Amino acid sequence: MGAFEPPVPVAVSPTSFILPPAEIEAAFPLTALAVPPVAIPLEFGPTPRPFAAPEPPPLRAPQPAPLPEAPKPIVAKPAPVPKPAPETERVVAVPKAAPPPPSPAETILISVADRRLRVTLADGSARSFPIAVGRSRDLIPIGTTEIVRKRRNPTWVPTPSMRRKDPTLPAAVPPGPRNPMGLYALDLGWTYYRIHGTNEPQSIGRAASSGCFRMLPKDIEAVFGLVSTGTKVTVIEGRLPTLPDPAPAAPVLPETKAL
């Protein structure tokens, strides 16, 4: 036999080859009659796929950043126009003129018989008030004097004659509801004699004092505001003289314009 030459396979499929019978018998004499032609697969592994470069990602243009929303325009609303107030009548308050101060007292006249005190003012008008006088005529001074001192909330000091009659009297009584002179006192030029208030208003109109002239609290307050130190005071035993009727006021003539 010559040198062995490998049979030339016949390609059957990409992965198997079939040898012709003559070549199989020449190559394998012992099995030529017993073995039919056999297809011997040749395993070369999976056929590698051809290399393909990965496709590049599609190019995309960069998206611009979203623009901020434009602010909504501010619509200015016109201010509401107030409705005109309904026509109403204007009332202008005119302050009242203060009443003129009373005229100061020129004189005080006291009547023991009438048990009244009359104040004559500088404008000629007069005011009369009820009073209490001394319990007996010998306690009442008659004549003319003047006011020498005015006192608010006076302290009452009993006179020596009062102490002789009643030694239990206190040395003094301070201002207050128990003070026999009340809240106001007008000291006269006669020692121990006064025109004053009282804490016994039921005695007014009677002969009830030790010689002073008592007045109701509201009346002495009024007289206290009218008089001043130096005002003349006259005490008479008789009745108060009748006051003359005031002169009638002059008629008001209409205003005339000069021609």
In a domain, 176, yes or no: yes
Whole-model pTM: value is: 0.56
Task: Summarize pLDDT for 9-50 with one digit per residue, the tens.
Answer: 555 555 555 556 666 666 655 544 555 665 555 555 566 666
Range(s) of the domain holding residue 23: 10-41
Does residue 257 belong to any structural domain of this protein? Answer: no
Same domain, 113 and 208: yes
Shared domain for 17 and 111, answered yes or no, is no
Check which CATH number belongs to the domain holding 147 and give it: 2.40.440.10
Query: Do 230 and 112 have their domain in common?
Result: yes
Q: What stretches in the chain show pLDDT beneath 70? A: 1-54, 59, 61, 70, 73, 75-76, 84-103, 243-259
Domain count, the chain: 2
Q: What is the DSSP string of the chain?
A: --------PEEEETTEEE--HHHHHHH-GGGTTTS---EEE----SPPPPP-PPPPPPP-PPPPPPPPPPPPPP-PPPPPPPPPPPP----PPPPPPPPPPPPPEEEEEEETTTTEEEEEETTS-EEEEE-BEESSGGGS--EEEEEEEEEESPPB---HHHHHH-TTS-S-B-SSTT-TTTTEEEEESSTT-EEE--S-GGGTTSEEESSSEE--HHHHHHHHHH--TT-EEEEESSPPPPPPPPPPPPPPPPP----
**Any idea which residues carry the catalytic annotation?**
196, 212
